[in-house]
Amino acid sequence: MKKYKLYFEIVPDECWRGNLRSLLAPADWDKIRKSAYARAGYKCSVCGARGRLEAHERWHYDEKKKLQKLVGVDALCSRCHEVTHISRAYLVGRGAEAMEWFMQVNGCSQAEYHEALQEANEEHARRNKIEEWTTDMQEWLQNNLYRSSKK
């Protein structure tokens, strides 16, 4: 699979719909969000754009262990964030914009975009066949939220 700096992350249907915001106390989410922006130097961590940022949860999927693990929270601009959630972009009729931005940021062709999208869809279909995913966000939270809050 070709690596792009801006890529698609399609969450398996059965997985917990990553949204730390709904799970954490507002003050904790705020702390996570703001430290992600500060870490990125208040720029999008993918394209470097300044301006309004959004916090994006990064997950790692271990298909053997059926484990969905939180591995980070990144600062993304809204355009990069939209591409990351490509199925949602298509759902709200912004597929063309997302495609343009993917090609621009990654410096790739339309054929390469379609290839990357197909790979992401295949990966999604494969992960969807796995039942009973476990979600682990405790370790990351332990290292990034609770530890720093005790200082």
The site string for Zn ion over 80-99 (x = CB under 5 A, - otherwise) reads x-------------------
Q: Concatenate the DSSP letters of all residues of 105-135 into one string.
A: HHT--HHHHHHHHHHHHHHHHHHHT--S-EE
For residue 107, the minimal CB distance to Zn ion (Å) is 14
How far is CA 66 from each of CA 1, 7, 34, 88, 136, rounded to the nearest angstrom?
Answer: 21, 22, 31, 24, 11
Map tokens 């995913």 to a residue.
133
Contact flag: residue 46 with Zn ion (CB under 5 A): yes
The one among 44, 73, 116, 117 contacting Zn ion by CB under 5 A: 44
**Nearer to Zn ion among residue 81 and residue 127 (C-beta):** 81
Among all chains, which residue has been given the structure tokens 């989410």?
A: 29
Q: Which is nearer to Zn ion, 47 or 130 (CB)?
A: 47
- Residue with Cβ nearer Zn ion (77 or 145): 77
What minimum distance in Å lies between the beta carbon of 44 and Zn ion?
3
Which residues inside 48-77 make contact with Zn ion, applying CB under 5 A?
Answer: 49, 77
How far is Cα 3 from Cα 47, in angstroms, rounded to an integer?
A: 15
CA distance 111 to 71: 30
User: Residue numbers of the site for Zn ion (CB under 5 A)?
Assistant: 44, 46-47, 49, 77, 80
